[in-house]
């Protein structure tokens, strides 16, 4: 296999990128590298990092070019949150990356953060790009977010991966042990989320649950499973003993025609089975739906 073919095959696994050193290691002569750049067959993405062939530019390629020359550099903070597709993350200005304390380094368009505490559990790869773990990413982002935004960030992570809460707690403990500042927000957010915490399917669900508990009403069951007419459903919040179902209706995650039809079918089957269904949207004031829930509970008890 020719050196160029080996380089191209490697680039295909690296968002179209190779480093100067990788080319040399695969047997390519420096003069050949220079000729590829002069001819326009390759282009330089960063110093010593090349885009091979006609691979179109992408945001992922731009991020990978930052980390590729190093074995101790990871996309982090708000940039990592965006790559993980986590909502409610802080706005980013440029690319943020994390490296251990040591020799200083400057990269154009990159904000390099440094930490004394970076363990294997704190870093991983996502879309083949070295990146801080979801837990470490949340901890790092919390320094620029309020309690509500940090909590929503944690909740969304837990909805996607059940172990995200434990991973965030572990990352927080490691960072705190290194004397990291600005941890008050994540500490408070985690204190509100005890082991076994369920964030529900949406922010609307968890907000409604908190309002119900704060009003002194009985705590409903989250994501209650029920089988009706041979079909299995999950009710957002439920009082199974009195067959009261509370559905949180929003455009997300209940969006599009198919989810809409499924929701209507579920409501129909619940009603046919003797359930009372209360729908809550983001536009409903807490006082309104709390009054409705209290009334439905009282009516069920009297019956």
Per CATH, the number for 203-302 is 3.40.960.10
For residue 89, give the nearest of 162, 144, 136, 130 by alpha carbon: 144
E strands present in 240-281: 244-249, 276-281
On the CB side of 55, CA atoms within 13 Å amount to 25
Comparing 213 with 79, the larger pLDDT belongs to 79
Q: Which of 10-19, 47-56, 155-164 has the lowest mean pLDDT?
A: 155-164
**Tokens linked to 175:** 């960072």
User: Poorest-confidence range of 84-93, 218-227, 252-261?
Assistant: 252-261
Q: Is the pLDDT of residue 114 over 70?
A: yes
Predicted confidence (pLDDT) per residue in 202-230, tens digit: 667 777 887 888 888 888 888 888 888 88
**Helix (H/G/I), strand (E/B), else coil: 181:** coil
Q: What's the confidence (pLDDT) of residue 74?
A: 97
Q: Where are the beta strands (DSSP E) in the chain?
A: 17-19, 42-46, 49-52, 74-75, 95-100, 110-115, 123-126, 129-132, 221-228, 231-239, 244-249, 276-281
Lowest mean pLDDT among 86-90, 125-129, 236-240: 86-90
C-alpha to C-alpha distances, 9 to 2, 13, 50, nearest whole angstrom:
11, 7, 14
Is the peptide bond between 283 and the residue preceding it cis, with omega within 30 degrees of 0? no
Instruction: Tell me the C-alpha distance between 67 and 132, whole Å.
Output: 12
What are the tens digits of pLDDT across the range 126-168?
999 999 999 999 999 998 899 889 988 998 888 888 789 889 9
CB 97 within 8 Å of CB 66:
yes
pLDDT for position 90 = 82
Pairing type for strands 244-249 and 110-115 reads: unpaired
Which tops the pLDDT comparison, 34 or 191?
A: 34
Residue 167 pLDDT: 92
| Average pLDDT score over the chain | 86
Q: What is the pLDDT of residue 255?
A: 44
Across the range 87-95, mean pLDDT stands at 82
pLDDT value at residue 1: 61
Give which of 21, 135, 128 is closest to 70, Cα–Cα. 21
| Per-residue pLDDT, 254 | 42
Asked if residue 31 has pLDDT above 70, the reply is yes
Helices (H) and strands (E) in the chain, counts: 12, 12
User: 78 falls in which pLDDT band (50, 70, 90)?
Assistant: very high
**What are the sequence ranges of the domains in the chain?**
3-57, 64-191, 203-302
> Quick one: how far is CA 97 from the chain centroid?
17
């Amino acid at each position: 296999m020719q050196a160029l073919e080996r380089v191209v095959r490697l680039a295909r696994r690296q968002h179209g990128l190779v480093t100067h050193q990788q080319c040399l290691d695969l047997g390519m002569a420096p003069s050949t590298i220079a000729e590829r750049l002069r001819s326009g067959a390759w282009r330089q993405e960063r110093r010593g990092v090349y885009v091979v062939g006609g691979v179109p530019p992408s945001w992922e390629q731009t991020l990978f070019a930052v980390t590729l020359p190093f074995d101790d550099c990871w996309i982090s903070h708000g940039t990592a949150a965006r790559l993980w597709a986590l909502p409610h993350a802080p706005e980013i200005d440029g690319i943020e990356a994390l490296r251990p304390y040591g020799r200083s380094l400057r990269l154009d368009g990159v904000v390099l953060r440094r930490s004394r505490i970076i363990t294997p559990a704190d870093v991983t790869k996502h879309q083949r790009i070295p990146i801080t773990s979801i837990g470490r990413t949340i901890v790092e982002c919390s320094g620029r977010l309020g309690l509500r935004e940090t909590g929503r960030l944690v909740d969304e992570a837990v909805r996607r991966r059940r172990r995200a809460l434990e991973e965030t707690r572990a990352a927080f403990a490691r960072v705190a042990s290194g004397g990291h500042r600005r941890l008050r927000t994540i500490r408070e957010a985690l204190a509100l989320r005890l082991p076994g915490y369920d964030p529900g399917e949406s922010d609307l669900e968890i907000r409604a649950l908190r309002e119900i508990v704060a009003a002194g009403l009985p705590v409903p069951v989250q994501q209650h499973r029920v089988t009706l007419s041979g079909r299995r459903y999950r009710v957002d919040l439920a009082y199974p003993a009195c067959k009261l179902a509370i559905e949180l209706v929003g455009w997300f995650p209940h969006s599009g025609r198919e989810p809409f039809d499924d929701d209507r079918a579920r409501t129909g089957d619940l009603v046919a089975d003797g359930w009372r269904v209360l729908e809550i949207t983001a536009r409903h004031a807490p006082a309104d739906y709390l009054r409705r829930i209290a009334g439905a509970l009282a009516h069920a008890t009297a019956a």
